[in-house]
């Protein structure tokens, strides 16, 4: 694989959890030397065993780049410590909030010439090194938050990191970043938690009716509460204003529900318009895929045979998800494809003996 220019090596990742290990895997895959550190030594060892780098310490004077991937409230401490321990290294962090850690470092009078914060807009509700994914950042947005004291070579090194992880670089000032993520990441998480929390007192026979809709709305609520408390707490001022605005909109929504179809349709239209304004996951225009669901029998190599048949069809599959039916010994593979491709792929897979259904969700 081609090596991206100018990531200063070796790289140290401090915090070998989900994001840190994924950075380690992506950089190792791209040919860079990575050393892993974690307050919990087994995390660094597990990450190393998954291909994220080595768990041995680096020579501090030789280190070119440090990527800090610890929980948000620890960012300022760990960044300050890294700037001291690695005297020649550029230091970045991947924290979900950018203004508060920077302000804290400035307040302490730390020389920030070698520090530039950043934030990959890719993640998961899973935590720890076992969730490491070398492709986590592929074509995803990664924000680099320059600040007035940052040296140009430090900015260039962090931008090279983004490139090496094959992400899409976006430059943004830390305050604007925090305002943007409050609306596109933090508020959605809180609303997801609110909806999911409302399910806890439902009787099992009502929960048995749960379809894909509630699963889509609540997936992110499965994230680590200790991590999300820190993300939300570090951006609380902005999020508080967002919540007040949500509260007013909820009140108007209630009035619309009570007042009849016209007003409610306007709300639902606006919601649909919002979904269309979200760019595709990989930065392209929003696309509505058509979905096919294929039943996978509980038989040796069934999945392997299915992938071979999909490959033989020669058609582009945009996304896949696999689910298991706990009551029958089968799984379901959902294939997202362009609408015009769906009937052809359905016919080819049916001809190959698969049970195929179109899906509307």
Ligand X SMILES: NC(=O)c1ccc[n+]([C@@H]2O[C@H](COP(=O)([O-])OP(=O)(O)OC[C@H]3O[C@@H](n4cnc5c(N)ncnc54)[C@H](O)[C@@H]3O)[C@@H](O)[C@H]2O)c1
Ligand Y SMILES: O=C(O)C(=O)C[C@]1(C(=O)O)C=C[C@@H](O)C=C1
Q: Which positions touch ligand X (CB under 6 A)? A: 14-20, 37-40, 43, 69-72, 74, 78, 94-96, 120, 123-124, 127-128, 227, 231
User: In the bound complex, what is the minimum distance in angstroms from residue 56's beta carbon to ligand Y?
Assistant: 29
Q: Which stretch, 42-50, 120-128, 157-165, 279-287, contacts ligand Y (CB under 6 A)? A: 120-128
Minimal distance, residue 346 CB to ligand X, in Å: 34
Please say which residue, 85 or 125, places its beta carbon nearer to ligand Y.
125
* Residue 121 near ligand Y by CB under 6 A: yes
Q: Which residues, numbered 258-277, are part of the site for ligand Y (CB under 6 A)?
A: none
Q: Which is nearer to ligand Y, 32 or 137 (CB)?
A: 137
CB of 112 closer than 8 Å to CB of 149: yes
* Nearest by Cα to 181 from 82, 95, 267: 95
For ligand X, give the closer residue by CB, 23 or 90.
23
By CB under 6 A, the residues from 165 to 194 that bind ligand Y are: 185
Please state, in angstroms and rounded to a whole number, the distance separating the CA atoms of residues 302 and 349.
13
- The correct pick among 45, 124, 149, 163 for binding ligand Y (CB under 6 A) is 124
Query: What's the CA gap between 24 and 26, in Å, rounded?
Result: 6
Could you give the C-alpha distances from 310 to 49, 97, 150, 288, 351, in angstroms and in order?
A: 32, 41, 49, 20, 12
Shortest spacing between CB 225 and ligand Y, in angstroms: 13
Residue whose CB is less far from ligand X, 69 or 296:
69
Q: Is 123 in the site for ligand Y (CB under 6 A)?
A: yes
CA–CA separation, 313 and 41 (whole Å): 47
Cβ 123 to ligand Y, closest distance in Å?
3
88-106 exposure pattern, b = at least 16 Cβ within 10 A, e = fewer: ebbbbbbbbbbbbbbebbe
Residue 302 burial by CB count (10 A; 0-12/13-18/19+): exposed, middle or buried?
middle
């Amino acid at each position: 694989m081609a090596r991206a220019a100018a990531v200063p090596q070796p790289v140290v990742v401090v915090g070998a959890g989900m994001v840190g290990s994924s950075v380690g895997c992506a950089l190792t895959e791209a040919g860079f030397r990575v050393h892993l550190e974690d307050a919990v030594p087994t995390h660094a060892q597990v990450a190393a065993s998954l291909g994220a780098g080595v768990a041995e310490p680096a020579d501090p004077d030789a280190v070119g780049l440090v990527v800090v991937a610890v929980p948000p409230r620890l960012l300022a401490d760990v960044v300050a410590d890294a700037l001291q321990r690695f005297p020649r290294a550029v230091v970045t962090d991947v924290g979900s909030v950018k203004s508060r850690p920077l302000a804290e470092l400035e307040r302490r009078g730390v020389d920030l010439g070698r520090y530039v914060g950043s934030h990959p807009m890719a993640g998961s509700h899973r935590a720890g090194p076992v969730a490491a994914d070398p492709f986590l950042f592929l074509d995803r947005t990664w924000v680099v938050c320059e600040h007035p004291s940052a040296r140009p070579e430090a900015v260039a090194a962090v931008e090279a990191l983004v490139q090496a992880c094959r992400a899409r670089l976006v430059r943004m000032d830390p305050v604007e970043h925090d305002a943007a993520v409050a609306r596109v990441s933090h508020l959605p998480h809180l609303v997801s938690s609110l909806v999911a929390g409302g399910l806890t007192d439902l009787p099992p026979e009502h929960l048995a009716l749960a379809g894909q809709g509630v699963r889509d709305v609540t997936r992110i609520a499965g994230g680590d509460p200790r991590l999300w408390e820190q993300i939300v707490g570090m951006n609380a001022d902005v999020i508080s204003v967002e919540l007040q605005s949500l509260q007013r909109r909820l009140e108007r929504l209630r009035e619309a529900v009570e007042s009849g179809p016209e007003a409610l349709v306007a709300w639902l239209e606006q919601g649909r318009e919002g979904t269309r304004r979200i760019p595709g996951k990989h930065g392209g225009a929003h696309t509505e895929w058509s979905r096919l669901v294929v039943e996978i029998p509980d038989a040796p190599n069934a999945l392997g045979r299915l992938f071979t048949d999909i490959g033989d069809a020669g058609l582009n599959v945009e996304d896949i998800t696999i689910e298991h039916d706990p009551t029958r010994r089968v799984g379901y593979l959902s294939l997202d494809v362009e609408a015009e491709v769906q009937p052809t792929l359905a016919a080819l897979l049916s001809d190959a003996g698969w049970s195929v259904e179109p899906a509307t969700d």
